[in-house]
Amino acid sequence: MIERLYKDMKKRYGREHIDTLSLMKALADAYLQKGRFQEAEALHLKVLRIGKRKFGHDNLSVAESVEGLAGTYRHSRYQEAVALAMNVIEIFKKQLGPEDPDTLATARRMVDHFPDSRLLEVAKSLGMRHLRFAKRP
């Protein structure tokens, strides 16, 4: 269903239209959930390249794309995923400030998804003193 909608949107508006990019990201996320990692990675990379070109490297939409790519890498390229997650936090800090609720929520989400001491230190530097890694079942 999403694939067909994406193809329609791409044909109608072009692959660089904001709605097409949003749908492309949703399709990449769906591929990731289904374990179709190569297809997810390819789409996330495409969205990221287009987003950087259209909006700049430090745009919040680009940060969402970076986060999607980090999620894709989480299963096979963990250190790269952590580096991308740190980049996501940095973009939010730069755009919204270190104390903004969205920045703090993003830092929390990155720590939850990518338990790594470097991310934990970044989150703590934002004032999230009581943060710990979520316990895994």
Which tens digit of pLDDT belongs to each residue from 58-93?
A: 999 999 999 999 999 988 899 999 999 999 999 999
Tell which wins on pLDDT, 79 or 10.
79
Tell me which residue range forms the domain holding 125: 57-137
pTM of the model: 0.82
- Which of 40, 41, 64, 42 minimizes the C-alpha distance to 52? 64
- pLDDT at residue 129, as a whole number: 54
Residues 111 and 95 grouped into a single domain:
yes
Residues 38 and 28 grouped into a single domain:
yes
- pLDDT at residue 126, as a whole number: 74
d(CA 50, CA 61): 11
Residues 64 and 116 grouped into a single domain:
yes
- How many domains is the chain partitioned into structurally? 2
Assign 7 a pLDDT band (cuts: 50, 70, 90).
confident
